[in-house]
Amino acid sequence: DTGVSQDPRHKITKRGQNVTFRCDPISEHNRLYWYRQTLGQGPEFLTYFQNEAQLEKSRLLSDRFSAERPKGSFSTLEIQRTEQGDSAMYLCASSRTGGRITDTQYFGPGTRLTVL
């Protein structure tokens, strides 16, 4: 399977714990995005990388959230001191710049986080 993969698919944690999610983009894609989606809403942009550089961060991304893409390939999203309001589906997407299909995003299956 050469699509976007995310791990884990589900995470249940207690309030106050730290969690880390991983995203592996499509191999030739240089852009990687993180989104959060709650029930009945569309995905909300969190941040994106072009190669290893984090180019944009949403105001939604509090100090408890951090994302990395150290080698320009996979990315991690860490949430520190989780709160119940962090419960959501965390989606990763990747895209390739240049050419006619620039910026068409392909999504991974998501990581569903439940904070108890």
Partner 1 sequence: RKEVEQDPGPFNVPEGATVAFNCTYSNSASQSFFWYRQDCRKEPKLLMSVYSSGNEDGRFTAQLNRASQYISLLIRDSKLSDSATYLCVVNPGNQFYFGTGTSLTVIP
Nearer to partner 1, 74 or 80 (CB): 74
Q: Say which DSSP state 74 is in.
A: -
Smallest distance, partner 1 to C-beta of residue 107, A:
4
* Site map 23..62 versus partner 1, x via CB under 8 A: ----------x-x----xxxxxx--x------xx-x----
Q: How many helices (DSSP H) and strands (DSSP E) are in the chain? A: 0, 11
Instruction: Please enumerate in sequence order all residues whose Cβ is within 8 A of that of 106, keeping only pairs 6 or more positions apart, or say none.
Output: 3, 4, 26, 29, 93, 94, 95
Q: What are the residues binding partner 1 (CB under 8 A)?
A: 33, 35, 40-45, 48, 55-56, 58, 91, 101-110
